[in-house]
Structure 1
Amino acid sequence: MSYATKADHQRLLAQVAADRDRDAFRALFDYFGPRVKTLMLKAGADPAMADDLVQDVMMTVWRKVDLYAPHKGAVSTWIYTIARNARVDWHRRGAAQPYDDLDDLELASEEPDSETEVFAAQRSECVAAAIADLPNEQRRIIEYAFVEDLSQNEIAERLAIPLGTVKSRMRLAYAKLKGRLETLK
């Protein structure tokens, strides 16, 4: 018997779910197994891997048969989704790098090298100079925001100015700092 219609597939899957009917499962396997294998071969699996993936897919169907929801799609859609996920998992496992023995690894020092330290110091000096050149009201807002880690609301309360004023001064300060510090990227 061919079992080629959607109704046949749903009936067979319902039998597997209800009674763990091995004959119904065998019929599903006979129908979908070759189709899943063809799908895997077209996706780049070698024949042995395609056979393994078919086994994985159909075992997942057996184990998770209770998760099939007919209102979400056809049995074929559900099985091909399982197959796609199995193929993705197979690719992920294949892309994994083997572990190296830790004794053989040379780890880079976590200490910054002298060039990095010099660049960081120069960048820090440039940022400090750019902030110092801001108008006093903008500089104070930037310092409150980044040194004292205050929110814009807290800055407005501390300076007794409207929140909108804090925001506009901060925007002006950012524009000036951006112009001065663009070369540090």
Structure 2
Amino acid sequence: MSASTPGQDQGRDKSADRRAQEAAAWVEDMLLIRDHKDREAFARLFAHFAPRVKGFLMKSGTEGQLAEDCAQDVMVTVWRKAHLYDPARATVATWVFTIARNRRIDVARRDRRPEPEDLGWGPEPDATQEDSVALQQETEQLGAALKALPAKQRDLIERAYFGDLSHKEIAEATGLPLGTIKSRIRLALDKLRHAMG
């Protein structure tokens, strides 16, 4: 394994600073949405997260148009359930991707192709207390599972899923061999799946 050069370390530091600033901006936007139903803040979050959620869903095997529709649903849920967001419990990215994961599970269950009359039409009912608690618990569980990962694996998962970088782009940013990146991400995903049950 090659030692990192000062230039690589400085690049990593700048990248970590940029990610921390982005995360802080997302929290600020999320609180504006939660507390003031701020449409501009929502537009910023939508522009950032909708394509990443779509990519996450497609990587999970969801077909393109369905992934697009689900991503839109996820972002509508972010708007409607913003009052449930607590920055002390999860990052915005963890919260959004928990909603996306639940949406993917719902779609997989629904894929038994119900008849049109079985589909829900009109506005979605407000979340029950039970649903709200379950979402909060899953968000906390995913956040804890991410924190429990070794730092090297967690960094790559965050870059791949929350930063929407390809394995090749991660290799260029970190200087790590492509095989190492793929192996660490595979190990991290296995640990997350195990932790999430």
TM-score relative to the length of structure 1:
0.50
Higher-Rg member (1/2): 1
TM-score relative to the length of structure 2:
0.47
Asked which structure has the greater RCO (Cα within 8 Å, sep 6+), the reply is 2
